[in-house]
C-alpha cells in the first residue's frame, strides 16, 4: 500500500508549507486529503496578523475555530473587524498596545467570546469605559490571566467583576500596573476572593 504524499512529508513540514499559502487558496488545499485538511485547520486556529484576521472576518466556519489571536502592537485599526467576528473557541487573546482598541470593540468582543482563559489588554489607551471591560470579563468566566496594565478605564468595578463573580475560575495572574483608578476596595475584593 502506497503512502500518501502528505504522509511522507510529515506534519511539521506540511504545516510550514501551508503557512506560506495565501488564505483564499487554503480551502482548495484542504480538499486534497485528510492530512492537508488537518494542517489547514491547525494553521487557521492561530491568528498572528491583521491580514489573516481580515481574511477570516466573513467566514464564520473558520473564525469559530480560532483558539489563539495575538495582535500585540498592531497599528492597523481592526476595531470594527474584531468586534464583529464570532470567536466561539478563542482561549488566548493578546491585544496589548493596540491603540485602536476602543469601547465598541471591547463590547463587541464581549458578545462574541466566552471561552477566554488569557486576555492581555496592556496599554490599550482608547478604552474609556469600565462598563465595556466589565461586560468582557463577565462574558469570559474561565479567565486565568488578565492584564489591564495601563488601561486607565480600569476601576474597582472591573476588579470586582474579575474576582468576585460567582462561578468564575480563579485568576492566576491579574496585572493592574498603572491603573490609577483602583482603590483599597479592589485590594479587599482580591483578598477576600483569594485569601
Please state the length of the chain.
195
CB 52 within 8 A of CB 75: no
Tell me the C-alpha distance between 46 and 40, whole Å.
Answer: 11
Tell me the C-alpha distance between 116 and 146, whole Å.
Answer: 10
Orientation angle between helical segments 184-194 and 156-163, nearest 10 degrees: 0
- Number of Cα atoms under 13 Å in the Cβ half of residue 167: 5
For residue 136, the model assigns a pLDDT of 98
For residue 165, the model assigns a pLDDT of 83
CB 21 within 8 A of CB 38: no
pTM equals 0.82
Q: What is the DSSP letter of 115?
A: -
46-194: CATH topology is 3.80.10
For residue 57, the model assigns a pLDDT of 85
Describe the strand order of the beta sheet including 68-70 as a list of residue ranges.
46-47, 68-70, 92-94, 118-120, 145-147, 173-175
Mean pLDDT by 10-residue block, N- to C-terminus, for the chain (195 residues)?
A: 50 59 58 64 81 84 90 94 93 97 97 98 97 98 98 97 90 97 93 82
158: cell is 472591573
Amino acid at each position: 500500500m502506497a503512502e500518501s504524499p502528505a504522509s511522507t512529508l510529515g506534519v511539521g513540514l506540511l504545516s510550514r508549507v501551508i503557512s506560506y499559502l495565501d488564505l483564499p487558496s487554503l480551502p482548495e488545499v484542504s480538499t486534497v486529503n485528510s492530512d492537508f485538511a488537518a494542517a489547514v485547520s491547525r494553521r487557521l486556529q492561530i491568528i498572528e496578523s491583521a491580514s489573516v484576521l481580515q481574511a477570516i472576518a466573513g467566514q464564520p466556519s473558520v473564525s469559530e475555530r480560532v483558539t489563539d489571536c495575538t495582535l500585540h502592537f498592531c497599528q492597523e485599526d481592526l476595531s470594527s473587524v474584531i468586534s464583529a467576528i464570532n470567536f466561539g473557541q478563542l482561549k488566548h487573546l493578546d491585544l496589548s498596545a493596540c491603540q485602536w482598541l476602543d469601547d465598541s470593540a471591547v463590547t463587541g468582543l464581549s458578545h462574541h467570546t466566552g471561552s477566554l482563559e488569557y486576555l492581555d489588554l496592556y496599554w490599550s489607551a482608547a478604552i474609556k469605559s469600565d462598563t465595556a471591560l466589565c461586560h468582557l470579563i463577565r462574558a469570559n468566566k474561565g479567565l486565568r490571566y488578565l492584564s489591564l496594565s495601563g488601561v486607565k478605564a480600569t476601576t474597582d468595578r472591573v476588579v470586582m467583576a474579575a474576582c468576585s463573580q460567582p462561578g468564575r475560575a480563579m485568576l492566576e495572574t491579574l496585572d493592574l500596573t498603572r491603573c490609577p483608578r483602583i482603590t483599597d476596595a479592589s485590594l479587599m475584593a482580591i483578598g477576600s476572593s483569594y485569601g
